[in-house]
Chains A and B, each alone.
Chain A
Amino acid sequence: MERVIRLYVLAAIGLVFVLSVAMFSKDRRKNGVAFLLGWCVPGLGHLFLGRWKKAVFFFLTLGATYLFGLWLTGFRTVGFDDNPFYYVGQFGSGMTTLLASVLGKEKAFPRPDLSLGLYDPGLLYVCVAGLLNLVVAFNCFDFKGAPEAAPPAKEEAAK
């Protein structure tokens, strides 16, 4: 079951890549590449589009959330048996989850030195970081490549 879901996720990412190359115009292709970069590493897509402030913000917040979740679950990603919904949600984090999956670092477990009540929030943190990263990656399609510090067009036109 886990392998099937993993294949579906990879197929979906591949589909977005193919669509971005085949269907979008030349300037929108950049957004497709940014989506893929953003899926791999939080904020990398925004950095690619020249929005470095947002990139740093997303990298720090999502990275910290993901790491905190992993710390609570013994530095293991969520397995399908732990929670199927959280398992699917964490794939928004991209490369880190797939890498852990390939290296066999799956199946989270409650840490013996922490309260058992922290185990479930740990899974939630990992899942939320993944889902938010997906939102951030899709946000790359909103930009048309304009840099962050572009001068306001209205003032220029008034002069």
Chain B
Amino acid sequence: MNSILDLLLYVPITLVILSVLEACKQDDPKKIVRRTALNFGALTAVLLIGCVVIFFVNKYF
């Protein structure tokens, strides 16, 4: 249960970090939203791929 809560809390904090950093870099709100979504997607994909790799490493090695 705790790990699920941690996962749920990952989403808002990551979005806040990415959007604030992006807002520091540029002024256009559309660009900020697009780049935040892109970075969030990339970060989440890396996290998920890492999870899958670790899962298979633990299972078969």
Q: For A116, list chain B residues within 8 Å (CB).
A: 2
Task: Decide if A117 touches B6 in the complex (CB within 8 Å).
Answer: yes
Q: Does B37 contact A (CB under 8 A)?
A: no
Interface centre among B2, B5, B20, B23 (most CB of A within 10 A): B20
Interface residues of A in 52-68 (CB under 8 A from B): 53-54, 57-58, 61-62, 64-65, 68
Q: Does B17 contact A (CB under 8 A)?
A: yes
Task: Decide if B19 touches A61 in the complex (CB within 8 Å).
Answer: yes
Residue of A nearest to B4 (CB): A117
For chain A, the bracket of interface size reads 20 to 34
Knowing A58-B20, A117-B6, A139-B24, say if A125 contacts B1 (CB, 8 Å).
no
Q: Does B43 contact A (CB under 8 A)?
A: no
> In the docked arrangement, what's the CA distance between A142 and B25, Å?
9
**Can you list, as one digit per residue, whether each of B9-36 has a CB less than 8 Å from chain A (1) or not (0)?**
1001100110111011001010000000
Q: For A121, list chain B residues within 8 Å (CB).
A: 5-6, 9, 13
**Can you list, as one digit per residue, whether each of A94-106 has a CB less than 8 Å from chain B (1) or not (0)?**
0000000000000
Q: Does A2 contact B (CB under 8 A)?
A: no
Q: Does A128 contact B (CB under 8 A)?
A: yes
Q: Does A7 contact B (CB under 8 A)?
A: no
Q: For B24, list chain A residues within 8 Å (CB).
A: 135-136, 139, 142
Residue of A nearest to B19 (CB): A61
Task: Decide if A136 touches B2 in the complex (CB within 8 Å).
Answer: no
> In the docked arrangement, what's the CA distance between A96 and B45, Å?
36
Q: Does A118 contact B (CB under 8 A)?
A: yes
B residues apposed to A, CB below 8 Å: 1-3, 5-6, 9, 12-13, 16-17, 19-21, 23-24, 27, 29
